[in-house]
């Protein structure tokens, strides 16, 4: 079995002393297999974190104040230069494993939403602009739309990912979607036979109501601050009470 590295680009935005990362690592220790090292790409690692041969921190600064996506691309480009495997897993800290996951065999996870579902809303918010911009980028590269942004871990082909990041104009305003940039470049508009629908493997929690009602019975739970700080954090600590080997204190 060829084990894979897991790269996590960590930013400075945590409102909970990086409890998101703490829970990811606890769940990884309990449920994760097929992985070799965690590559934590950040210059703001929490004080409670203890490195060892299986978890290394690589300094990576957020240079782009108004483009978080560009910071993400640069951190992952550095991780891709560090890993020496054929594949690598990109993961976010605000995701917790709830079932066993073999990262070396992680299937592609796809999102069925189409570009026309991300039209500019009337309320002034426009998080969908990243999706629309990525769609135009794929068209400029002669590729069909394939939506791979699922907030779950994704296993990347390293060579394809390096090429995709080089070719994506991620420093332009409005940013780009990194999973769609990489997986879209790898698969084009085709969906591999082993790809799985995001709804079959993840539960999303983005509010107090969802935090209370979440069943927590899928492979992953992913969340934002509104859901995490409104009750989900406590539920996940009940699920994973024991510190991981990378914690110096609780």
pTM comes to 0.91
User: Is 198 among the domain residues?
Assistant: yes
Q: Which residues pair with 52 in a beta bridge?
A: 55
User: Is 136 among the domain residues?
Assistant: yes
Domain total of the chain: 1
Task: Tell me the CATH number at 170.
Answer: 3.90.550.10
User: Is 14 among the domain residues?
Assistant: yes
- The pLDDT value given to residue 230: 97
User: Is 245 among the domain residues?
Assistant: no
Which pair of structure tokens corresponds to residue 2? 């060829």
User: Is 53 among the domain residues?
Assistant: yes
- The pLDDT value given to residue 81: 97
User: Is 248 among the domain residues?
Assistant: no
User: Is 250 among the domain residues?
Assistant: no
- The pLDDT value given to residue 250: 56
Residue ranges of the chain with per-residue pLDDT less than 70: 1, 115, 118-128, 130, 143-145, 173-175, 188-189, 250
pLDDT digits (tens, 9 = 90+) for 64-108: 777 788 899 999 999 999 999 999 999 999 999 999 999 999 999
User: Is 249 among the domain residues?
Assistant: no
- The pLDDT value given to residue 240: 98
**Domain range enclosing 235:** 4-239
């Amino acid at each position: 079995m060829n084990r894979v590295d897991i790269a996590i680009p960590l930013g400075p935005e945590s409102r909970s002393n990086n409890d998101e990362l703490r829970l990811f690592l606890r769940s990884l220790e309990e449920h994760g297999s097929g992985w070799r090292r965690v590559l934590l790409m950040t210059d703001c690692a929490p004080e409670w974190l203890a490195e060892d041969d299986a978890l290394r921190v690589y300094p990576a600064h957020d240079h782009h104040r108004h483009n978080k996506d560009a910071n993400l691309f640069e951190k992952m480009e550095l991780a891709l230069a560090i890993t020496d495997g054929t594949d690598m897993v990109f993961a976010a800290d605000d995701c917790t494993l709830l079932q066993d996951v073999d990262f070396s065999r992680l299937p592609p996870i796809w999102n069925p939403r189409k570009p026309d579902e991300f039209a500019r809303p009337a309320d002034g918010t426009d998080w969908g602009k990243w999706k629309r911009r990525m769609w135009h980028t794929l068209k400029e590269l002669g590729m069909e739309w394939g939506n791979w942004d699922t907030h779950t871990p994704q296993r990347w082909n390293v060579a394809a990912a390096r090429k995709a990041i080089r070719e994506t104009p991620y420093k332009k305003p409005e940013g780009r979607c990194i999973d769609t940039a990489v997986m879209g470049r790898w698969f084009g508009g085709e969906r591999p036979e082993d790809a799985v629908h995001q709804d079959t493997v993840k539960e999303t929690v983005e509010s107090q109501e969802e935090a209370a009602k979440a069943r927590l019975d899928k492979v992953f739970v992913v969340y934002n601050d509104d859901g995490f700080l409104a009750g989900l954090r406590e539920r996940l600590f009940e699920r994973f009470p024991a510190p991981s080997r990378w914690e110096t204190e609780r």
